[in-house]
Structure 1
Amino acid sequence: MMALDWRNRDKEMVSHLLTNAHMPSDDIIKGFYLLLDLAPDAAVDHPYILRDLSQFIARAVVDEIITPAHFEEIEMRSSYKLGKSILELSLARYRATNSGQMMVKYWGACNSGWTELDIKDMKDNIMRLLKDYDMSGDFDEACRCMINIELPFCFYHEVVKKAIIYMMGNPHTRMWILLEKFVYTGVVDDTQMAKGFKRVEESIDDYSILISIPQANLMYRKYLN
């Protein structure tokens, strides 16, 4: 429900989170039941709930988190007029021509509106975050920094990538502990973690890395083991 107040970029991140959370469809459906039941009261504070919640539901179908058959199941459970209207709009969105493309572009891409300078600033902020953590070992503060710099969920792999490269050049760093805590707490999901490692693998032969870390390839293989 909180996401209804957030910016489009953050709503897109919530959709990504639902897709990557690997939750059972039944649990997702129960969540939508609850939201639809709360919709009439929530509409007071969220005037665009019809538009936004219908988008979340339709997007969940497009992302194959739930199936089209669930529409009928949800409709049977919804006893409020607003809830039924939300479902009708969700179904219309899903059935629309090119609905898949429309759904994934509705909130905007995860990096929508970002300039090259924005991304550079984000990467610089990530490096400051990692260096601060290496000095303090304060995991909670590292997580707060990720929020404060408005790091998109779909960009968490960049933290993983930079942590690995940082670790290659600083053997006694705390970065491995940070990565372990990311996994243990679920702050970084398996998809973003794997993507971070993949990005390192793709750039491991980059001259800028090899010139400062000649053994980068060997060290990366060691981390994989």
Structure 2
Amino acid sequence: MAADCVAWLNAYPVDAEDLSDSFLSGEEENGGLAVHNKNISNEINSNWLSSTSNSIHEARLKAKAKRRLRKNSSRDSGRGDSLSDNGDVSRGISVAPTSPKSKLMDRKSRMRKGRGLPKKGGAGGKGVWGKTGEVYGPVVVDEKDPNYDEDQENCVYETVVPPLEERDFEKTVTPIVLEYFEHGDTNEVAELLSELNLGSMQSEVPSLAVSLALEAKASHRELTSRLLVDLCGTVLSHSDMATSFDKLLRDLPDLVLDTPGAPQLVGQFIARAVSDQILSKSYIDGYKGKVDCEYARAALDRAAVLLKMSLGGLRIDNHWGTGGGQRPVIQLIREMNLLLNEYILSGDSKEAERCLRDLEVPHFHHEFVYEAIVMVLESKGEKTFKKVLKLLSLFSASSIITVDQMKRGFERVYMDIAEINIDVPRAYFLLEQFVEKSFSLGIIGVKLRDQCPRWSRKRFVSEGDVGVVKFDRY
């Protein structure tokens, strides 16, 4: 056995350096090495144990592993092989680098304090407005500050609106006037104009409004007259009104090109302004013998005639008429009845169409259909029946009365037929005939025709006619 060990040591010599790389350190490494070598020599001379060869082999492997790790650089210390606590070699296990560079981007507290929350509750740092809901008190001015200026304490800051230039006047005021034609609220126009710094263009507002009204409808001219009354004294002065109408008389040759009836219309505006006390009563007299333009003379003559007629009892406070949206419902119903009666007498469908358009109530045309059908039910002859049927057919074909308004007018008659039948016993029978004729002419559709209410033909009579069923015949 000893001969085999000597042969093995000769084949695999063990250096003292290899044995010194064991886990011994300090005194053990200095003094224990001699003892260990002595023990080795003693064992070689005496009996060699099998466990000794295993321990030498393990020590050799550990020394080689240590040398391999010692050769690795510090930057690769986290990669590669490592030695575990029990001395085993572990491969592929990543170890955190020990380089101080790894702590450059570390934001953790070095003092090991805090819970990792942001500083100052998120209210600190560059570009931060402060905590949510934090209200700052008034800033106290430091009079000892070198940048302190005593004159700034007494400054009054106001919003200065630059005066409106002539080139921007029409672009700014025209939309305000056109919008007024839709809603008819003079207070809103006064607020919008007061926000503008009109300056020298203040007297141009009435002339611009009147020139826009000349090309609009009669109801818009009435709204313009009301606007001038409400603006005078608040936004505009009487002198501004006089200056504006003077400009209108000078511009009549140009206004006639777009509106041939401009002289008569301007004359009506002047008469209305004098009647509303916007212009003085001597305004027209001031032009006598001083006017060379024929259009201006026509306008002044028209105004003088209307003012003389007003002295005889004619009211000119509403001679333009009122738009449909501004009229009361009772007045609209009355005018529609007058329109129908005039058509039944004259048979002029074009005049009836013109009058209906002048009412400017397309949203209220269902009332016209309702009144026309009720007039047919209350009439006794076929003349009214045929004329109303012809008129509704004409209005439906030309889309003056829309399908929706026509349908709504018929449905209103269907709903009130029970009350109409109390005064007109033959109302159900006449309504069925009128609905059938309207369907044949394409005025209504199949669905509206089938909705027509029908009167039951049988009824039970008094106690003396027990069990007897009678049929009403018209």
TM-score band (shorter)?
Answer: 0.3 to 0.5
Rg comparison, structure with higher value:
2
Q: Using CA pairs under 8 Å that are at least 6 residues apart, name the structure with larger relative contact order, 1 or 2.
A: 1
TM-score by length of 2: 0.23
Q: Which has the higher helix share?
A: 1
